[in-house]
Structure 1
Amino acid sequence: MSAIDAQDLIERYIGVWNEPDPAIRRRTVHELWAEDGVHLLRPPQEVHDRAVSLGFGTAVLQARGHAELHARVTRAHEEFVAPGTYVFRIREAARRLDDVVTFRWESFHTGDGQVTGGGLEFLVLDEEGRIKADYQFVD
């Protein structure tokens, strides 16, 4: 595996969700994730429980490949960051073990600085140091 700086990786990762420029966002998605990379999200408990109550065995959301990943990041940006309401930031420094990097993140309200959410990110890297699997557990 190529030598990567795990802290730099997660700073670029958080940065892409806050990035206002669509072209930079697209380029960063291509740089961070492998071509067939996947982002898997375990939604907040109430969303998960509602999906299960509707007959779904599990409620895991998935974006695979650069086009879907870019759409996922863009949608999150448009909903949370673009209106000027929230910003994402790192809450816990990167920890790396071989091809895995973990860290905790949070969102905060730009008006009053109150933390509004967060979660754990579990990234599995490929041989080039790009994300091949991104597991997101929302608190």
Structure 2
Amino acid sequence: MSVSINDIFDDQIAEVLTRLANGESLRSIGNDARMPKHTTFLLWVSKDPVLAEHYARAREVGMDAIGEEILEIVDSSTPDTAARDRLRYDARRWYLSKLAPKKYGDKLDMTSSDGSMSQPSVIRIVAADDRSKD
């Protein structure tokens, strides 16, 4: 049984997409000697609309995997690893907020239900002993 060059490319593409969906970066995948360089893969994506759709979906799933990794980092943190874990947490959170700000970014919603801009409400909390000063 012979293996065609297309079979090799299909296997590489499938592995790249799987690794992306697991949260690995395209650059780190491209550093694997068995895989195409990230620039080569992006060239393939730019020339193939079907591959572009698969790539986008794999990246989306990969971001969720990174989000789950953040939870694992926080859940497994110990006093001895807290500083390193905080750095790992912050880096991943920042990365996700830049790649998918609508899903993972900080959001301040200043619109009302009808879509118009609303004025932020200021709530004053008064302690019991401060009420007599008003």
The answer to whether the superposition gives a TM-score over 0.5 is no
Using CA pairs under 8 Å that are at least 6 residues apart, name the structure with larger relative contact order, 1 or 2: 1
Tell me the TM-score normalised to structure 2 length.
Answer: 0.27
The two structures have a TM-score, normalised by structure 1, of: 0.26
- Between Structure 1 and Structure 2, which shows a larger proportion of strand residues? 1
